[in-house]
Amino acid sequence: MPARIYAIANQKGGVGKTTTAVNLAACLAEAGERCLIVDLDPQANATSGLGLRANGHSTLDLLDGTPLRELVDAAPIANLDVVPAKAELAAATVHLSALEGGERYLADALRDDATEPYRFVFLDCPPSFGPLTVNALAAADSVIVPVQAEYYALEGLSQLLGSIDLVKRRLNPRLGVAGILLTMVDGRTRLAEDVERELRSHFGDLVFTQTVPRSVRLAEAPSHGLPAIAYDRRSAGAEAYWKVAMELVERS
Ligand SMILES: Nc1ncnc2c1ncn2[C@@H]1O[C@H](COP(=O)(O)OP(=O)(O)O)[C@@H](O)[C@H]1O
Ligand SMILES: [Mg+2]
């Protein structure tokens, strides 16, 4: 069975993209599925959050045509590999947009035969709708859109879904939206309830049933180089991501 490729995208920063990529991949890896994270953010938070750093090779080489198998590093938990990012990836933004067909470099690198060892691939996108995110959407089967439970949550969301649809029509007809995931939900507040209600009334079934609570453990885990299930598996954040992972499998 070919790998299922998910892009984790939202042009806003700090909404939980990296946390979602790392923890969904870790939960599915824990469930026995071989998973891969491709770090597409020059800030390399997914890489460092798993205790890794790019030594020599990085996502940049993947875009330049080096075979995937030569670029993967093992994460500190079983069944999880990472293609690390480094700051130089920022230069690729200019480079990719200047080249003919530059939006398909990642799709070429993640062809079925290259991703064959994996069941799930997560593409952790940078916080902009630039060439790296377009490459991710051109390579993905579907997109997961994390949305932070805050007052401005819905702002820009319809526009983002419109941009995803444009990529689908122009570059990747098989692209779907796996779901909108509400993150950093502070359950005790009226605001969080209002944001969730509004999100569900606008986007209905597109929104994951499971939401992710604000959890100190989720924020601490990366500084220990671990996903939340390895850092504190009983934390509310780890349990929430486990349920999101199961919902994702059911949805696909
Ligand atoms: N559910 C959560 N509860 C608490 N902190 C979180 C949660 N999700 C993410 N964070 C923290 O918020 C910050 C932004 O999250 P991150 O996943 O890096 O967002 P993005 O990749 O969209 O920029 C990070 O410091 C992360 O540890
Ligand atoms: Mg990030």
**CATH number for 29:** 3.40.50.300
Distance of alpha carbon 44 from alpha carbon 126, whole angstroms: 9
Residue nearest atom 13 in ligand 1 by C-alpha distance? 14
Distance of alpha carbon 248 from alpha carbon 138, whole angstroms: 20
Beta carbons of 245 and 28 less than 8 angstroms apart: yes
Domain span at residue 81? 4-251
pLDDT of res. 91: 87
CA neighbours within 13 Å on the CB side: how many for 186? Answer: 6
Only one residue has tokens 């902009």, namely: 128
pLDDT of res. 235: 97
Q: Is 148 in the pocket of ligand 1 (CB under 6 A)?
A: no
pLDDT of res. 36: 98
pLDDT of res. 188: 83
Ligand 1 atom nearest to CA at 214 = 3
DSSP class of residue 128?
S
- For residue 172, how far is its CA from the centre of ligand 2 (angstroms)? 23
pLDDT of res. 122: 98
CA nearest to 57, candidates 95, 5, 109, 96: 109
Angle, nearest 10°, between helix axes 89-98 and 131-139?
80
Q: Is 212 in the pocket of ligand 1 (CB under 6 A)?
A: yes
User: Which of 12, 17, 19 to mutate to test ligand 1, by most ligand atoms within 8 A of the CB atom?
Assistant: 19
- For residue 216, how far is its CA from the centre of ligand 1 (angstroms)? 10
CA angle 161/244/145 to nearest 5° reads: 15
Beta carbons of 2 and 97 less than 8 angstroms apart: no
Beta carbons of 179 and 164 less than 8 angstroms apart: no
- For residue 61, how far is its CA from the centre of ligand 2 (angstroms)? 20
Beta carbons of 139 and 8 less than 8 angstroms apart: no
Residue nearest atom 10 in ligand 1 by C-alpha distance? 219
The domain total for the chain is 1
CA neighbours within 13 Å on the CB side: how many for 1? Answer: 8
Q: Is 45 in the pocket of ligand 1 (CB under 6 A)?
A: yes
Give me the residues of the chain with pLDDT under 70, please.
none
Q: Is 122 helix (H, G, I), strand (E, B) or coil?
A: strand
In 140-209, alpha helices (H): 157-170, 190-203
* Cβ neighbours of residue 102 closer than 8 Å, sequence gap 6 or more: 95, 96, 131, 135
Q: Is 180 helix (H, G, I), strand (E, B) or coil?
A: strand
* Cβ neighbours of residue 56 closer than 8 Å, sequence gap 6 or more: none
Nearest ligand for residue 183 CA:
1
Q: Is 17 in the pocket of ligand 1 (CB under 6 A)?
A: yes
pLDDT of res. 43: 97
Q: Is 184 in the pocket of ligand 1 (CB under 6 A)?
A: yes
pLDDT of res. 30: 97
pLDDT of res. 95: 83
